[in-house]
Amino acid sequence: MAAPPFVAARVTLEMKTLLRALAEREQITESALVRQLLEVMLRSAGGEGFPKLDASVKISRDARLSVRLASEDRILLCERAAARGMPSATYVSVLVRSHLRNLSPLP
């Protein structure tokens, strides 16, 4: 799977500070905030002669899943994954896949 296109820009220290503060307030990353700002601007410019963004072009976020674990469960997860020589995220992925597809559980 190819990485999505990348946009970079240089800003003043003041702009960077404001961006960081707003991202923290919204509880998102600075990158996610910049992406949202760009999308708003590009959608609003769509009525002024620019092509509109197609909603069907948006990349699905279903491929990534975040799970919050209690600290005790996280410790157990890390121990079991390490015992199998796997990163904890891979171990969870294998467990979920085996459950969803009715595969034999991990030995």
pTM over 0.85: no
Which pLDDT belongs to residue 47? 62
Give the three-class secondary structure for 50. Answer: coil
What number of other Cβ atoms are within 10 A of residue 76's Cβ? 12
Taking the C-alpha atoms of residue 60 and residue 45, their distance in angstroms, rounded to an integer, is: 24
Q: Over its length of 107 residues, how does the chain's per-residue pLDDT go in tens digits?
A: 577 788 889 999 999 999 999 888 888 889 888 988 888 888 777 666 666 656 555 556 667 778 899 999 999 999 998 988 888 988 898 888 888 888 877 66
